Amino acid sequence: MELQIIETVITGNRKQAWMQHAVTYGVVTTSEAEVLVLFSTQGVIYIGMVQGAEDFRPEDCMHLQRNDTRARRILEAYMQPLPDYPEPLHLIGTEWMIVVWRTLASVACGVPISYADLAARMGKRRAVRAVAHAVAQNPISIVIPCHRIIRSSGDTGQYHWGATLKKNMLASEARLRPALHIL
């Protein structure tokens, strides 16, 4: 299934908006970390690692219905070389953030790009810092691949969930990349 994106534009506090929309959550144990997934009635609104989380922790979600099976199914589908998208992404953020996240979602697996490249794809070459700020606010890690954004120097740079995890994810994706690319 093709990736579907639903948008909710807000101007206030994102965490409050997410929690107003959230109805279900799940926690999935992976080889690298425990992953928290939040769902609205319209789709996935948040994916992030539990360790080091500043946005959400499972204890923030105790008032919601828990469904680890649904969260596992979503992560398994999204982490395939050719991902299946069984549920839409429900992006909740400012208009600018949503534009950046939509563009970021189109970055191909195994092909990291720089913040400057991402800004250029958006036709906003001079907005590199604003693009970087929006990338750093990405609420749907892994699926909206902020880990694929590297520095112009080629250095992998930092990652909200740790530089080691970012390097591991990029290395894993590089192994999946086909040897022949059509230009």
What is d(CA 82, CA 141) in angstroms, rounded to the nearest whole number?
Answer: 17
Neighbours of 102 (CB within 10 A): 16
Take residue 58 and report the two structure tokens written for it: 């499972």
Q: Known catalytic residue: 146?
A: yes
Judge whether 92 and 17 are in contact, CB under 8 Å: yes
DSSP string, 3-46: --EEEEE-SS-HHHHHHHH--EEEEEE-SS-EEEEEE-SSSEEE
**Catalytic member of 132, 146, 149, 169:** 146
Q: Residues with catalytic annotation? A: 146
